[in-house]
């Protein structure tokens, strides 16, 4: 597969008044394969937005190089702009214009042939389920609808690459779901997507590859499933009524980890193994308040790999050895 977006060793510092420049990007590398979604996942201040701003020609890197379809984002900025669309963290539509007016305006600014604009606008309004509201001012729309319009505004030209900077921040679950569907459709239409998010679920659901960003560099990269495997195996988690109960269950089960009233038993997730664990627990006579089989989530990956700040937030775990 060929890479449509590449970044090599991107560095960027921002000057602060009365302080030395703060490095935001510290040698960031990434590649977006053509026709796929890459999610940049990281905490606030990791450098996600700065990366997107460089890749969309809004910002020059201090060092390093980035290309879109082989074109340098600094030297060939104008041509790059014809290939990309950016949907930033803030919704960039005019509240006082109607949905249709907003899209038509973007069509003119994208220099589409005048006659083509009307059809394209109607097509996009229909695709984003906004036809009914198209004649109303956007100021009266819901947050989810405004976000969808914002995305549609970026798609008038059928861009090769679409950048989405935290597109679902502040949306309710239903709107988030609708937006994910839209992104999938966009990708099915041949557009490559670079998405930043703080939501692990979002990266997991949408992206073929995830790049974990922390401190201005990519600390882990790969398919969501592979990243999760790296962090560890699944476990049966049992919540007991008291620490004494937890100790009793732990003694019966053998090598397990105990954290207060919670007992975690590593498992391969097979029916046979889970059943044997539960039988052992039942034989102790202790009734757990709650139990579940829990596979590692991207949250675990996130906490395991994003350095000190992540580690500090992890609950301490006491190891009980048999």
Partner 1 sequence: MTAVLRDVTTLSVRGLRLVRRDLDAMITAVVLPVVILLLFVLVFGGALDTGTGYITYVTPGVILLAAGFGAANTALAVERDMSGGMVERLRSMPVAAWTVLTGHVVASLVKNLVSTAIVFGVSILMGFRPEATALEWLAAVGVILLFVGWITWLAALVGVLVRSPDAAGGFTFGVMFLPYVSSAFVPVETLPTWLRGFAEHQPVTPVIETVRALLAGGTVPGDVVALALAWCLGLGVASAVAAGLAFRACR
- List contacts with partner 1 (CB under 8 A): 56-59, 78, 81-82, 84-92, 94, 96-97, 101, 105, 108-111, 137, 150, 153-154, 163
For the purposes of burial, counting CB atoms within 10 Å of the CB of 146, is it exposed (0-12), middle (13-18) or buried (19 or more)?
Answer: buried
CA angle 315, 49, 94 (to 5 degrees): 120
Q: How far apart are CA 305 and CA 82, in angstroms?
A: 36
The answer to whether 146 and 103 have CB atoms below 8 angstroms apart is: no
DSSP 38-87: EEEE--TTSSHHHHHHHHTTSS--SEEEEEETTEETTTTHHHHHTTEEEE
Pick between residue 51 and residue 306 the one whose CB is nearest to partner 1: 51
Smallest gap, in angstroms, from Cβ of residue 138 to partner 1? 11
Quick one: 22 or 309, whose CB is closer to partner 1? 22
Least separation in angstroms between CB 221 and partner 1: 25
Closer CB to partner 1, 13 or 297, in the complex? 13
Q: Which is nearer to partner 1, 89 or 280 (CB)?
A: 89
- In whole angstroms, the minimum distance from the beta carbon of 59 to partner 1 comes to 6
Q: How far is the CB of 137 from partner 1 (least distance, A)?
A: 7
Give the CA dihedral 97, 90, 191, 28, nearest 10 degrees: 160
Say which residue the tokens 């089989």 belong to: 293
Distance CA 158, CA 156 (A): 6
Q: How far apart are CA 189 and CA 196, in angstroms?
A: 20
CB of 302 to partner 1, least distance (A): 27
Which CB sits closer to partner 1, 138 or 213?
A: 138
Cβ at position 54, least distance to partner 1 in Å: 11
Of 57 and 197, nearer to partner 1 (C-beta) is 57
Helix, strand, coil percentages in the chain from 3-state DSSP, rounded to 5: 40, 30, 30
Q: How far is the CB of 90 from partner 1 (least distance, A)?
A: 4
* Residue whose CB is less far from partner 1, 93 or 304: 93
Neighbours of 153 (CB within 10 A): 22
């Amino acid at each position: 597969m060929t890479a449509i977006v590449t970044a090599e060793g991107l560095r960027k510092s921002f000057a602060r008044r009365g302080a030395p420049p703060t490095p935001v990007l510290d040698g960031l590398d990434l590649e977006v394969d053509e026709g796929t979604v890459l999610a940049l996942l990281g905490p606030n201040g990791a450098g996600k937005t700065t990366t997107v701003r460089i890749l969309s020609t809004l910002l020059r890197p201090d060092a390093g190089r980035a290309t879109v379809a082989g074109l340098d984002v600094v030297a060939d900025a104008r041509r790059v702009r014809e290939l990309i669309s950016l949907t930033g963290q803030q919704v960039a539509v005019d509240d006082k214009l109607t949905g249709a007016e907003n899209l038509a305006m973007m069509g003119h600014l994208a220099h589409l042939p005048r006659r083509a604009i009307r059809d394209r606008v109607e097509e996009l309004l229909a695709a984003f389920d906004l036809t009914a509201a198209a004649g109303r001012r956007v100021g009266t729309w819901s947050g989810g609808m405004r976000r969808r319009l914002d995305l549609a505004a970026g798609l008038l030209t059928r861009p090769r690459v679409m950048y989405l900077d935290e597109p679902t921040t502040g949306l309710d679950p239903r709107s988030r779901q609708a937006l994910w569907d839209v992104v999938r459709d966009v990708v099915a239409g041949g557009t490559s997507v670079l998405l930043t998010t703080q939501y692990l679920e979002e990266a997991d659901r949408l992206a073929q590859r995830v790049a974990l960003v922390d401190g201005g560099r990519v600390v882990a990269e790969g398919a969501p499933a592979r990243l999760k495997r790296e962090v560890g195996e699944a476990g049966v988690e049992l919540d007991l009524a008291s620490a004494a109960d937890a100790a009793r269950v732990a003694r019966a089960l053998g090598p397990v980890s105990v954290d207060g009233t919670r007992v975690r038993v590593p498992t391969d997730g097979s029916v046979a193994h889970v059943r044997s664990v539960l039988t052992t627990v039942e034989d102790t006579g202790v009734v757990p308040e709650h139990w579940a089989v829990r596979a590692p989530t991207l949250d675990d990956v996130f906490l395991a790999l994003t350095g000190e700040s992540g580690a500090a937030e992890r609950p301490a775990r006491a190891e009980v050895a048999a």
